[in-house]
Amino acid sequence: MQKLSQKPGNLVIAILTLGLGLGACGKLSPEDVAKTAQEVTVMVDGCAAGSGMIYRREGNTYSVLTAHHVVEDAQVTCLIITPDGFRHQANPQVTVPVPNVDLAVMTFTTDKDYKLAKWGDSDKVVAGQTVYVAGAPETTQAIPSRTIIIPDGKIIGNISQPTEGYSLIYNNITQPGMSGEPVLDDRGKVIGVHGRGDRDDTGGKTGQNLAIPIATFLDPPQPPLKRGENEQNPPLTSGGNEQNPPQPGNNQTPPFLRVAGGDRRGNFTWAALQQQGMVKKLGWGEVREVIALNQELTVVISNVGATLFNLATGEALWEIDCPANGGAVSANGRLLALRKDKDIYLWDLTTGQFLRQLQGHTSYVSSVSFSPDGQTLASGSEDKTVRLWDVATGRELRQL
């Protein structure tokens, strides 16, 4: 794992983006998942009725991922309706990012600020896992205007040889107009793009639906090389827009480095941090606590995790995917304690490793603090106890 040495001091910080097992750091509530979904889901209208998600910003241009069949027969330029209700004219060019896969990328231009979808790990999706879909069905007599709905459901299967990329099977309720919508896990991260509803021989819906895993978009399968071809001498192609093809991805570049956006160019400033709601506006969640390690490094804890910012460069050196209500950093900057509901989660910041979960409180943990030597952690809770913990073992030492 790549590491950086930060100055002043000898603090060594890993550059990382961590994804935990589903139980390791607590799941988002259904309400929080719905809120996250609402913030990144858009409606496609004017040319066809579909849905999509905002996933990237470059200057004033936003990229929207949707299903290709939503826009492939469009005779007029589409409208993209963002979560604030504004109707944006889509730019004319529509890109098919992965050959023979039912995905399309649209763009629109505005100086407004919108949040970006975050990617989950679709390779780790398992049957029985709770998932959510977020999209706007076509209008009906009972519902005369399109409204984003967010039904939950379960993963019920996976197709080993998918057609047009569709392999994830789930039982969420879907309707016409929801093609292209995001499929989200219980952390509010996108794991797929919905696009098909299964039907029986009579044309009736079976209740089974299909999505393209987001990994197909982020890391598309490469065609086998023909004899005589190699990576150093790729085959020549012609026509189309092949000289500068758009690259899949979101606001991450390179894979293990995320840059926080304090302004349109992605610059982060201390003044921006002090503005109420700044992190929420940027898509990093709602700020719960800010911990200054020194003049350059600051840990921001939010309801979507913890992020270490280098204030001098504007870079986010790492992000831990662990929703939290607050936390503390040890005096030597090597340990991070995050509190979430009744539990506490310990991390080694020098290796990026999740260490252990501390359980024992029977109500909301309201504060945590390390001893000066970092060997003991104190936690206060609404259960009217203060508990001391051995950091090395996670064992509860005593209650006060």
State which H helix or E strand residue 348 sits in.
strand 343-348
Q: Determine the CATH number of domain 270-399.
A: 2.130.10.10
The winner for highest mean pLDDT among 200-209, 236-245, 391-400 is: 391-400
More confident residue, 133 or 293: 133
Output the CA–CA distances (angstroms, integers) from residue 197 to 157, 169, 201, 203, in the order listed. Answer: 14, 10, 13, 11
User: Is 90 exceeded by the pLDDT of residue 11?
Assistant: no
Q: Where in the chain is the domain with CATH 2.130.10.10?
A: 270-399
Secondary structure (H, E, C), 385-399: CEEEEECCCCCEEEE
Distant-in-sequence, close-in-space partners of 123: CB < 8 Å, separation ≥ 6: 213, 215
User: Is 80 exceeded by the pLDDT of residue 159?
Assistant: yes
Q: Where in the chain is the domain with CATH 2.40.10.10?
A: 37-109, 129-217
| Spatial distance between the Cα atoms of 359 and 356, rounded to a whole number of angstroms | 10
Task: Give the amino acid at 147.
Answer: T
Banded pLDDT at 162 (limits 50, 70, 90): very high
Burial of 238: CB neighbours in 10 Å, binned 0-12, 13-18, 19+ = exposed
Q: What is the pLDDT of residues 14-61, one digit of tens each?
A: 334 444 333 456 568 899 899 999 999 999 998 888 999 999 999 999
Share of the chain above pLDDT 70, in %: 75
More confident residue, 61 or 294: 61
**Mean pLDDT, the chain, integer:** 78
Banded pLDDT at 304 (limits 50, 70, 90): confident
Which class does domain 129-217 fall in?
mainly beta
Output the CA–CA distances (angstroms, integers) from residue 390 to 340, 348, 367, in the order listed. Answer: 19, 15, 16
Which class does domain 37-109 fall in?
mainly beta
Counting every residue written for the chain, the total comes to 400
Tell me the average pLDDT across 162-168.
Answer: 95
CA–chain centroid gap for 373, Å, is 35
Which pLDDT belongs to residue 291?
86
| Spatial distance between the Cα atoms of 387 and 190, rounded to a whole number of angstroms | 37
| Spatial distance between the Cα atoms of 97 and 220, rounded to a whole number of angstroms | 9
Q: What is the pLDDT of residues 363-373, one digit of tens each?
A: 999 999 999 99
Banded pLDDT at 179 (limits 50, 70, 90): very high
User: Is 80 exceeded by the pLDDT of residue 258?
Assistant: no
State which H helix or E strand residue 62 sits in.
strand 61-66
